[in-house]
A and B are shown apart, each in its own frame.
Chain A
Amino acid sequence: MSATPPRRLAGLAAPGSVLAEGLTAARLREPSEDELRALESALAVALGGAAVLGTAASAATTKGGGVVAGATHAWVTMAAVKVTTVVVLVGLATSGAVAWRQHATAPDRSTIAARSAPPPARTPPALTTAPTVTAPEAEAFPPPSPLPPASTLLRFAETSPSPGRSGALRSRHRDPGAVTVPRTLAMDVAPGNASDLSGELDLIERAQQALSDDPSSALALAEEHRRRYDSSLLVQEREVIAVAALATLGRRIEARARAERFIRRFPESAHAARVRRLAAAVTETR
């Protein structure tokens, strides 16, 4: 750098001023471990699983050692607990972190979109059995949400970070001496019940894991998910798995039909690209 860069505003702002505080807060924001894990899970599904990113569980294991081998399970459990109780402050005592709610102060951001995620359906699916893909599934559901799948995952309150992970993932820009912040996302959760959520996640994760070795099982698990949860929080993930399984099994027409339904229903999904690729692949091999 031969040029002298301008001094950063944070260094020019009066301590305690809105400017200084706002910049400090903006610099210290970061996702909670749970949000990162949810992102990893969504990516694992979108990218075809462990081969690329590792599942949430295996990733946690590689980073944190044996301690976090059950991370996924813990995550699910925690999610389950939090879904039913709107907890504003979690882990305050142990982490020493103070929490706030951005909602309260940033109305522009504090939309309720996440909260408007469709609740897990309680109604029995119109079509209950048979892993056939001819069901007019799209019509059975409420209008597609414009939000791709990850938005329907839960948001969690920030808890005390797990040292193994957070150390590895710490941003290089983070100021080590800075105030511990403050980010509790309010419980932007869809209403639901604890056992449903953990059961759902469990099914989807098993289906994802089965995909490479045993696509028939993956498909069966996806169908089981459809029977039990219908249009649920993880409907997109399930459909991606089903399309991939059908393609692997050589059931090309079904794979394409299901892929097309997916694209119609979730045109803006983050998974749409993968589904298109799957559909294109089965078309080519015809």
Chain B
Amino acid sequence: MLGKVPACVPAAPAAPGQRRPTFREVFEAHARYAWRSLLGLGVREADLPDASQQVFLVVHARLEADQIPAEAVRTFVYGVCLRVASDSRRRAHRRHEELCAAPPEPSYAATQERSVALGEALAQLEAVLDRLPPAQRAAFVLYEIEELDMTEVAATLGCPLQTAYSRLHAARKIVVAALGGVIGDESPPHEERRTK
């Protein structure tokens, strides 16, 4: 794991004059969204502590080796998250059998209705995301949840911008088809990109 450089990120030394961030700085700036994006990318909650630890061990190794351009730390961290999430999903699949017991019934107070609704909506969204091919899911999560811009999405995925757009578009189609709820003019992303 530590030996792999995420393919999507150039392993170039930091630009001269730009101070390399310390590991602590990187951790503080990126731990929260790394955690969130791992969830979005399909890492199960039980595996999250390990997965986020893996992410930052890789980040640490690359920082030490001066292989993270200072201006691209965020993209780099997302790239590592993609890789780790992919490994984690694979491992989770292998030990699928031990994960079948039903969770205990929760107790809700009336004032929590809003949260319950959010939780149910999130569960539905995740169920759809789970059915997406990983690359489409990643494009969707990075753009729609993490709110990266499309060039960052493409850089993180290690694919051409156009490919990133078509993955996003495909994912959106499936999500909207499954959940509905879109109002107004939902211009498909692949058309808008031609306005360049």
Give residues in A with beta carbon < 8 Å to B.
1-10, 12-14, 17-27, 29-31, 35-36, 38-40, 42-43, 46-47, 52-54, 59, 63, 88-89, 98-114, 116, 146-151, 153, 155, 168-174, 179, 181-182, 185-186, 188, 268, 270, 273
Contact = CB atoms under 8 A, between A and B. Distances in A.
Contacts, number: 276
B76 to A, nearest CB: 15
Given A98-B111, A150-B53, A6 B101 contact: no
B60 A98 contact: no
A3 B117 CA distance: 36
B147 A22 contact: no
A146 B91 contact: yes
Interface string B133-161: 00000000001111101110000000001
B145 A27 contact: yes
B118 A17 contact: no
B123 interface: yes
Contacts of B95: 146
Q: Which of B121, B161, B179 gathers most chain A CB within 10 Å? A: B121
B80 to A, nearest CB: 13
- Does more than half of chain A's interface fall in helix, strand or loop, or is it mixed? loop
Interface string B70-114: 000000000000000000000100110011011111111101101
A17 B115 contact: no
Contacts of A42: 49, 53
A117 B185 CA distance: 49
A10 B115 contact: no
A104 B117 contact: no
B77 to A, nearest CB: 12
Given A20-B181, A89-B109, A150-B53, A31 B45 contact: no
B108 to A, nearest CB: 8
Contact of B193 (A3, A39, A168): A3
Given A29-B39, A104-B105, A113-B99, A147 B126 contact: no
- Does more than half of chain B's interface fall in helix, strand or loop, or is it mixed? helix
Contacts of B195: 3-4
Contacts of B181: 13-14, 17-20
Nearest to B121: A21
Given A104-B119, A153-B49, A179-B114, A22 B125 contact: yes
Contacts of A268: 91
Given A8-B144, A100-B118, A179-B114, A14 B57 contact: no
Nearest to B195: A4
8 contacts: A30-B32, A39-B35, A42-B53, A106-B122, A112-B103, A168-B28, A171-B32, A171-B36
B127 interface: yes
B186 A25 contact: no
B49 A111 contact: no
Contacts of A13: 181-183
Contacts of A38: 49
Q: Which of B39, B105, B185 gathers most chain A CB within 10 Å? A: B39
Interface string B13-42: 000000000011001110111011001100
Given A38-B49, A107-B103, A186-B103, A22 B124 contact: yes
Given A21-B121, A30-B35, A43 B126 contact: no
A228 B97 CA distance: 32
B33 A173 contact: yes
B45 A23 contact: no
Contact of A111 (B31, B99, B119): B99
B114 A98 contact: yes
Contacts of A63: 28
Contacts of B102: 107
A170 B32 contact: yes
A6 B188 contact: yes
A134 B83 CA distance: 37
Given A6-B188, A38-B49, A100-B118, A88 B31 contact: no
Given A14-B182, A19-B180, A148-B53, 5 more contacts: A29-B36, A31-B36, A147-B47, A185-B45, A268-B91
